Amino acid sequence: MEFHVLSYKQAAINNCIHAEWHEVSLPEDEQPEDKGILRLFPVDDNKYCMELLYLQYAGMSSTEATVHSLRFLPLFFEQYPAEILIANQPFRFDRTTEESFPLCGQSQSLLEKLQEDVMLTPFIRSLRRSETAMQLLRCALECITIPYTVCQLPACGFLAYESEREKIQVACDIIAQNTDQPLTIRELSRKVAMNECYLKKGFKTITGKTIHEYQQQLRITKAKELLQQQGRSVTDVANILGYSSISHFSTAFKRVTGLKPCELLK
C-alpha cells in the first residue's frame, strides 16, 4: 500500500522498547479497516526482535491515518527464560512471522495513553510508557492466541436481540445523513451506544459491507443524483460531498460505478 508521510514523532520509552508515530495520507480508494500487525524477527540464536504496528484512520472517509510502531528489542526478551517464550505460542520464535489481529477498544485506549504528554519526571514518564507498551503487547498476543476474547465478542450472537439490530439501522441512518461530514467510528459508536467492535462486526454482518464501504456507496449514489438530475459540475459535487480533491472523487466514483464522473454529464 502506497502512502505519503505527513509527520513523524518518536517517544523515549527505555533501552528495550522504542515507539514511533507516523501521520500518513493514503489513496482514498485504499482504506482497510483499523487493524494491528505483529512481526517477529529472529536476529540470532535465541535473540528476537518484535514489532507491533497499528493502523488507525482519522474518520470513515478521511484519507489521513496514524501508523503506530512499537519495537521490542532483543534485550527485552532476554528477561524471560526461553521455555516461557516458546511455550504454547501460536507462532514459532525461530523464524520470521507476521500475524494480523483486530484493533480492539482496549488497544485504542492504550495507544492514546502512550501518546499523552503528561507532566511527569522523565523516569516516571518512562515507567508509565513501559507499562502501557507491555499492556499493548499482551493484548496483541491474546488477540492472536485466542481470537476476539479481548473484545469479548461472540460470533455476532448479540444480533439475536432486536435492540442491537436497531442500533445498526440507526448507524446506517446517521451515515446517510452525514455523507458530506462523516463521523469517526468512535463517534458513531457513541451515538448508537454500541461498542466499536460490536458495531464493526454487526454492521458488516447486516449490510454485507464495512462501514467505510457503505458510506462510500451512499456518497457515490448522491454524486450520481447531483450530476445527472441537478446538472452540477464535477468540481461542485466533489466539494459538496467533502472529497479532498477532484482526483480522489473521480477515483472513488470510477471504483464504484466503472465510469468517470464526467461521463454522466454527456
Beta strands in 45-124 (DSSP E): 47-57, 64-72, 97-102
Residues 119 and 204 in one domain: no
- Is residue 116 domain-shared with residue 47, that is, in the same domain? yes
| Dist. CA 20–CA 265, nearest whole Å | 47
Q: Pick from 145, 167, 184: which residue ends a domain?
A: 145
CATH number at 178 reads 1.10.10.60
Q: Judge if pTM exceeds 0.75.
A: no
161 and 129 both lie in a single domain: no
Dihedral sign of CA atoms 167, 173, 176, 181 in order = negative
Is 152 domain-assigned?
no
Same domain? For 89 and 220 the reply is no
- In the chain (266 residues long), the average pLDDT of successive 10-residue segments reads 73 90 73 80 89 80 79 93 81 85 80 84 91 94 64 61 88 90 83 86 88 87 85 85 80 81 72
Which residue segment(s) compose the domain that 66 sits in?
4-145
| Model confidence pLDDT, tens digit, residues 97-132 | 998 887 777 788 889 888 887 788 889 989 999 999
